[in-house]
Structures are given as structure tokens and as C-alpha cells.
Amino acid sequence: MTTLRVVVDQILAPVPGGIGRYTVELTRGLIATAPRGCDVEAVVAAHPQADYDRIDDLLPGLAGLAKAPLGRRELSLAWQSGLVGLPGRGMVHSTSLLAPLSRHDRSLEPSTQTVVTIHDTVPWTHPHTLTPRGVRWHKAMARRAHRFADAVVVPTHAAADDLAERFDFGDRLRVIGGAVSSDLAVPTDADALADALDLPPAYALSVGTLEPRKGIEPLIQAMGHADAPEIPLLIVGPDGWGDVSIADIVAREGLPEGRVRSLGFVSDAQLAVLLQRASVFVFPSLAEGFGLPVVEALSLGTPTVISDTPALVEVAADAAVIVARDDPEGYPGRLAQAMFQVVNDVELSTRLGVVGLDRSHAFSWTDSADKVWQLHADL
């Protein structure tokens, strides 16, 4: 039996974010599409037993769970220093840069291979939107990947181009995107969920971890612009870092009560209802490598507005209204105008919904998992 060892510790991170969701879905896909004679084992840092149980619940069908003796931070530092340890040799696939990268001779150990994933180049292009420690760690691990990784997965061609400007990975780069979770489906009790969320008849929606690069501040500022549509903005997402306080931004902008609502974390069923019923979905991120919430919105036929971040433009294609970020002072006004256009132009809104639904079919976790298995076979 050939075992693919997948580093899944991001699922248990304090703020799993989009990479945590990516990790769950890709690993499920790898389990479901495992070729004959192959299975999947998960690799995690040291955690309480309840966290191990959670991994087992989220990823049914795992062949095993390899538990490191070190906690997440200690394991990260050990791997950054080149101390491999768990998971040792064999086929290793990491859904991030958290991986046991070290020198190995493929001619002597052909079955030993390490593949990592670099989701974006934010540590280089927008370092001020991350913690200093996070920037240092990502850059250090990217350098190790350049030296030791057998292949590097990136989610878009835009991310590949950005990364190629910083490292010459040559033919080791492979573009493999994400997709929509099968858990994101409108439930039969959608009306009850909408009532519980106290959803207004019309609203704008944005989704993402609350951190500086997600563009939440200019989006809230847009709601105070004269050109903004007369509907509230609902923001979904867990707290991240950087003291992005929705309440503080709303107060500073002098917006009336109810103009902006923060819903925090929501379930997949709630998110599906929120997306399906939104008048417009807005993803104003200043930097992205993929932008999974955009694909989720498109999959439910929600008219979408995005920033002109290259990865988002690649993912959405012609299925979204694109807003330029180049002039920060004018960005909120342009977001307001784009939202107004989508909300008030029925023909445009309808077209975006139809084209977006079609575009979302280009992304599949089964396809992504097949490509990962093929990548390891090619190695």
C-alpha cells in the first residue's frame, strides 16, 4: 500500500481561514479519489484528544493520523530549522508551507517526495497586512521550498506568475485550484434560517476573515458614499488579526445604526442562505491567491463585485463586476458605484447570476484531488 501523508494541521489553527477550509476539502477529495493501492494519512502537531477526534470526524476514511510530539508552533520552528522527524520519509503533501522540507536524494529514495502549497505572495507584496512573525516564517519556508520541495502547488496562474518573480521553481510549479464544498448547499429550512439571522429583504454581503488585506475598511467606507445602494451590508467571517474592528470603522465613518452588521462565524447552511438571498456579493480584497468565497458566491448565482486583484479576475473571468484598487482614496467610491449598478440594473444582475453559476462549474474538488494524485505520480 502506498500512503500519501497530508499535513492537515491548518484545520486546527486558531484561525483556520480559507486554507483550513481548503485543507478539509482537498483531503476529502484525496481520500475519495485515491488510486487502487493508495491511501491517505493525516499529519498533525500535538493537540488535545478532542482535536484529533475532530480531524477523524471531518475526514472520514483516513488510513491513520500521525501525531507529532511537538505543538503547532514548536513543530513549525523545527521544520523551519530543517529538523524533519515526523512524518519522516515517503510521499508528503502539505496544503500550506508547513512541511518537513529537507535535502533528500530522489535517485536513492525515489518514493520520498515533498510537495508544498503556496497560496499567495502576500508576504512579499503586502507584508504590512500580515504579522511580522508571519511574514518572516512564510519567507523562510518559501526559501526552504525553493531548495528542497519536489513540487509547489499554487491555486492560480496569477499566483504562479507572482511567485516566479521571486523564485525560479522552473517546472516544479503546478497550478491546482480550489472549489466549492459539497457542504455549501441551501437547506430545506432556509426560511427558518433566514428568520433566525433576521435577514432584510435586500442586502449586500461580504465574506472573509477579518484582517487588513481583505479590504473590509474601504468596503465599510463605501457604505457611507453618496453612490452606495440603500441596503445594509452584512459581513460574515471570524476575527483575524490586526485589530480590524467593524464597530470602530462604522463609528469613525459616522454610519447610522443597522447600515453595517457583523455576523461573525456562520455555519455552511447559514452561509448558503446568506449568499443565495444577497442582492450583491462584494469581495474587495487587496491581495489574494485564489478567493474561494468568490467561487462560493458564483455557485449560488449571486451577482458579484470583486477587486481587480489578478487572481480574483482569473477566477471570476467575466462573471463579476471588477473594481480597480490602484487609487486607495477613490476605492470606496468605486465600490459604492459598482454595488449600486448591480443592485439597480436588473439585466446586469440577472446576467451575472447566470454567467457566475456557469463559471463555478469550472472548479471541482474531485478534479483538484485527481491533479494532486497525478502530480505525485509524475514525481
pLDDT in tens, 121-143: 999 998 987 889 989 999 999 99
Indicate if the pLDDT at residue 88 is higher than 70. Answer: no
pLDDT of residue 351: 98
Q: β-strand 260-264 against 233-236: which pairing, if any?
A: parallel
Indicate if the pLDDT at residue 241 is higher than 80. Answer: no
Helix ranges restricted to H, 105-261: 122-125, 132-148, 157-164, 190-196, 216-222, 246-253
Percent of all residues in the chain with a pLDDT value above 90, rounded to a whole number: 80
Backbone torsion region of residue 42, taken as left when φ is above 0, otherwise alpha when ψ lies between -120 and 50, otherwise beta: beta
CA 262, CA 251: separation in Å to the nearest integer? 13
pLDDT of residue 32: 98
pLDDT in tens, 36-79: 999 999 999 999 999 999 999 999 999 999 999 999 999 998 88
What cell was used for 53? 477526534
- CATH code of the domain occupying 190-360: 3.40.50.2000
pLDDT of residue 120: 96
Under 8 Å between Cβ of 227 and 255: no
User: Quick one: pLDDT band at residue 240, thresholds 50, 70, 90?
Assistant: low
Indicate if the pLDDT at residue 14 is higher than 90. Answer: no
**Domain boundaries defined on the chain:** 2-179+364-378, 190-360
User: Quick one: pLDDT band at residue 16, thresholds 50, 70, 90?
Assistant: confident
What cell was used for 284? 474587495
pLDDT of residue 10: 93
Residue among 124, 119, 154 at smallest CA distance from 16? 119
CATH 3.40.605.10 given to domain 2-179+364-378: no
CA 166, CA 95: separation in Å to the nearest integer? 20
| Polymer length in residues for the chain | 379
The enclosing H or E element of 349 equals helix 346-360
Average per-residue pLDDT for the chain:
93
Q: What is the mean pLDDT of residues 162-180?
A: 96
pLDDT of residue 86: 66
Residue spans of beta strands (DSSP E) within the chain: 2-7, 38-44, 64-67, 91-94, 113-117, 151-154, 173-175, 204-207, 233-236, 260-264, 280-283, 304-307, 321-323
Under 8 Å between Cβ of 220 and 246: yes
DSSP 3-state assignment of 324? coil
Under 8 Å between Cβ of 115 and 97: no
User: Quick one: pLDDT band at residue 244, thresholds 50, 70, 90?
Assistant: low
Q: What is the mean pLDDT of residues 180-188?
A: 93
pLDDT of residue 17: 79
CA 163, CA 133: separation in Å to the nearest integer? 20
pLDDT of residue 129: 79
Q: β-strand 64-67 against 91-94: which pairing, if any?
A: unpaired
Percent of all residues in the chain with a pLDDT value above 70, rounded to a whole number: 96
Question: Look-up: residue for cell 483516513?
Answer: 62
On the 0-12 / 13-18 / 19+ scale of CB atoms within 10 A, 104 is: middle
What cell was used for 197? 439571522
On the 0-12 / 13-18 / 19+ scale of CB atoms within 10 A, 318 is: exposed
pLDDT in tens, 279-291: 999 999 999 999 9
The enclosing H or E element of 313 equals helix 310-316
